[in-house]
Amino acid sequence: MLIAIDYDLKGVIAVADTIKDTAIEAIEQLQSQDLEVIMLTGDNERTAEAIAKQVGISQVIAKVLPKQKAEKVKMVQQQGKQVAMVGDGIN
């Protein structure tokens, strides 16, 4: 985030999501059952990829608005996959 006073840049603040203690273990358990884990998020690609890397997720669909999430789930289902969705499980 940028901080400005009267359009004059005065500072920069870096902010990051923290990962829940149980997220990595939960994802590992799902993957050990041969389940494919995909992150579907409204975050930008860079942020989503960084979080996904930390928790062991290799597939990311980023920049998805809430009203677009059902469409993205249908897209995965059209590939012949069954889908279960969990919200806010990482941070």
What is the structure's pLDDT at 88?
Answer: 63
Residue corresponding to tokens 């358990």: 29
The answer to whether the beta carbons of residues 90 and 51 sit under 8 Å apart is yes
pLDDT value at residue 12: 95
pLDDT at 63: 95
Which one-letter amino acid corresponds to residue 17? D
Q: Could you tell me which residues come within 8 angstroms of residue 60 by beta carbon, excluding any fewer than 6 positions away?
A: 38, 39, 41, 45, 48, 49, 52
pLDDT at 36: 92
In the chain, what are the domains? 2-78 (3.40.50.1000)
Number of Cβ within a 10 Å radius of residue 63: 12
Q: What is the mean pLDDT of the chain?
A: 89
Q: What residues in the chain have per-residue pLDDT under 70?
A: 88-91
Q: pTM score, two decimals?
A: 0.72
Please give the pLDDT value at position 89. Answer: 53
